[in-house]
Structure 1
Amino acid sequence: MSTSIFPRPIDWAEGRWTHEPAAVERRGDELVVTAVEGSDAWLRTAYGFEHASEHGLIAPLPVGRAMEVEFTADFTEQFDQAGIFVRIDAERWIKSGVEFCDGELGAGAVVTDRRSDWSVGAVPEWSGRRLVIRVSRGEDAITVRGGVAGGAAGEAMRLLRLAPFDGAADAAAGPLVAAPSRAGLTVVFHAWRMTAADASIH
């Protein structure tokens, strides 16, 4: 009888930053990350600008695997955000998680293939809580789920996005922080782990 190797904790040292944060501190098993003011990721669509200054701590994500991060933060300013960044290259990537927009916390994703899109839904009930975001990589897609970590009955992980993603490409993923509109956003990452990809799409 075989024993699953998952979930497997990922050490923070296994990742490399897409862009260095303003500050990074180890506190026991946790990683505390402070974003640079103006950091963000967006490519061309609608707004007429390009941003490639997000703080993504990424490690390889193969097909058939999933990555999860757990975190808490005080999201209070426009577009404060945290979650997971998945990257193939500068023009093919996904950022998924939570974002403070127009006075309310939202959960969703930006999927980029030469141009970015954005999907988001309000989750005010997640404010101030320990959250988990998971991305599962299939042969041709990424499935994004999120929710309250260790959620009670009725707080199951919800589907945030199912997006096309090149299964033949090398990709890496991990914790994400960005703060487009202010200095001082600090996110506490409690856990980073590899798991088996979700069997179910929905």
Structure 2
Amino acid sequence: MSLEHLMRTGRWTTAPVSADLVSDTLRVTAAESSDAWRTTSYGFVHDSEHALIAPFAVGSAIEVSFILDFTQQFDQAGLFLRSSDREWMKAGIEISDGLPQLGAVVTHGVSDWSVAPVADWVGRAVTVRASRTGDAITVRARVDDDNFRLVRLAYFAPDASIDGGLFCCAPTRAGLTVTFSDFRQTAADESLH
């Protein structure tokens, strides 16, 4: 599945300000205050992310690629998996404390968050991959053509109906535009390591 196919067959969880497919890239502009979070530490629920998603079956994987050229606090982009408003995951890059952070938020009723700084990824092509096998979602990421590194292993019920795709959010500002350069659906990874 390509970006063009995802645009034709997918659905937005929340429509972005704009989404333009130009020369094999998808440029998505996020609305100010868009975000995905549920309760933990902050006490609020935000369910206004701009995720373009399609069915994500057990035994498959999705990859989302984008250019890391955003710099404002909490700007974020990557991949999004959604079973319901209380069961979802986002993984990718989020700007926090002045640095791009590679991480994931897993939500089973309430959200958690894990991050690691990747300052040397700025200006480069980031690819985030989610692989679904049994009761596990394995998230890996890389920059350019480097090897994938493990980001997260998370539980999702094996019989859960999950949609997956790309996303972006701009919790603190207007004007964030993310350039997505690729979307692929492939077979799931055969092993964790």
Q: Confirm or deny a common fold (TM above 0.5).
A: yes
Q: How does 1:77-156 map to 2 (within 5 A)?
A: 77-149=72-144, 151=145, 155-156=146-147
Gaps of 5+ in 1: 1-7
Q: Is the CA contact 2:68–2:121 (under 8 Å) kept in the aligned structure 1?
A: no
What code does the residue aligned with 2:156 have?
F
2: CA distance, partners of 1:15 / 1:73? 23
2: CA distance, partners of 1:56 / 1:67? 14
Q: Which residue of 2 aligns with 1:158?
A: 149
Q: CA deviation at 1:9?
A: 3.2
Query: Does structure 1 residue 28 correspond to structure 2 residue 19?
Result: no
1: CA distance, partners of 2:115 / 2:90? 12
Q: Where does structure 1 differ by over 4 angstroms across 4 or more consecutive aligned residues?
A: none
Q: Is the CA contact 1:73–1:186 (under 8 Å) kept in the aligned structure 2?
A: no
Q: Secondary structure at the match of 2:111?
A: coil
1: CA distance, partners of 2:115 / 2:19? 28
What code does the residue aligned with 2:177 have?
T
TM-score (norm 2): 0.96
Gaps of 5+ in 2: none
Q: CA deviation at 1:183?
A: 0.6
Percent identical across equivalent pairs?
A: 51
Per-residue Cα deviation, 1:168-191 (whole angstroms, up to 9, x for no partner): 011100011001011111011111
- Between the two proteins, the alignment pairs up a number of residues equal to 191
Per-residue Cα deviation, 1:65-112 (whole angstroms, up to 9, x for no partner): 000011114221111000000000010000000000010000010000
What code does the residue aligned with 1:142 have?
I
Q: Is the CA contact 1:68–1:134 (under 8 Å) kept in the aligned structure 2?
A: yes
2: CA distance, partners of 1:73 / 1:125? 10
2: CA distance, partners of 1:123 / 1:76? 13
RMSD of aligned C-alpha atoms?
1.0
Q: Which residue of 2 aligns with 1:9?
A: 2
Query: Does structure 1 residue 169 correspond to structure 2 residue 169?
Result: no
Query: Does structure 1 residue 182 correspond to structure 2 residue 173?
Result: yes
